[in-house]
Each structure stands twice: as C-alpha cells, then as structure tokens.
C-alpha cells in the first residue's frame, strides 16, 4: 500500500504533501502542461512553487501561493537546492498515484544500486 502523504519538515513545521485530483487539475491549469512533464520543467521556479502549493491543499487549506513562495524562500535560505526540489517532486508524485507499485519497486532498486 502506498503512503497516504509525504512529510516535508521545514521552518520548524511538518507539512503533509499529497496531490488530489482537484489539486492536480488546478496545478496543470496554472502551469499549462501535464504534471508528468513537471520533472523536466523543475528548473522553472513556477513549476516547483505551483506543485508544492497544490500538494499542500489537502492538509493545509489556508496555504496560499504567496505563503508557498515564502516557504520556498525559507527552504532556499536553509540551503535547499534544485536537486532537492526534484527529489521532493518525485516523493510527491510517488504518494499521489503517478506510479504503480512495480514502478516504485523498480525505482527503489535503481536507487539502491546507485548508493
């Protein structure tokens, strides 16, 4: 069974992240492309911000896009890099139904091989 959400610890808080159908649709509308294209667009600041905002909506209803920008600024002030943003995007996609259980097992196997 897949995890219900991914937890991001940042700025002294824990944030539960998961994309719902509604937030996936809203994110795609805002970005103008499929979320499956998000990893290749992670270098665009807007991509990460919109997906993080969308992933926060299920458990953190008062999280506006401006609050997300502030959170990202705090993450970056603490040394958060583009690589870590890409990793977080992947974790959000894992808990949000983008991959089959077999896909996840294959990813874990490849990750273990590279470590």
8 A C-beta contact, residue 18 and residue 58: yes
**pLDDT tens, position by position, 27-40:** 999 999 999 999 99
Is residue 39 a contact partner of residue 86, using CB atoms and an 8 Å limit? Answer: yes
Q: Stretch 67-95: mean pLDDT, rounded? A: 94
87: left (phi over 0), alpha (psi -120 to 50) or beta: alpha
Assign 21 a pLDDT band (cuts: 50, 70, 90): very high
* Amino acid 45: pLDDT: 94
53-65 pLDDT per residue, tens? 999 999 998 899 9
Q: What are the residue ranges spanned by the domains of the chain?
A: 6-109
> Helix count (H) and strand count (E) of the chain?
5, 2
Bigger pLDDT: 17 or 104? 17
Measured on CA atoms in the order 93, 37, 11, 115, is the torsion positive or negative? Answer: positive
């Amino acid at each position: 069974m897949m995890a219900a959400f991914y937890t991001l610890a940042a700025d002294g808080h824990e944030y539960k992240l998961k994309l719902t159908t509604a937030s996936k649709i809203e994110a795609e509308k805002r970005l103008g492309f499929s979320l499956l294209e998000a990893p290749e667009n992670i270098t665009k600041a807007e991509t990460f911000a919109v997906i993080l905002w969308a992933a926060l909506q299920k458990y953190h209803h008062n999280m506006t896009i401006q609050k997300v920008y502030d959170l990202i600024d705090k993450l970056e002030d603490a040394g958060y890099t583009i690589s870590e943003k890409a990793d977080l995007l992947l974790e959000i996609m894992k808990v949000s139904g983008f991959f089959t259980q077999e896909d996840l097992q294959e990813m874990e196997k490849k990750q273990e091989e590279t470590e």
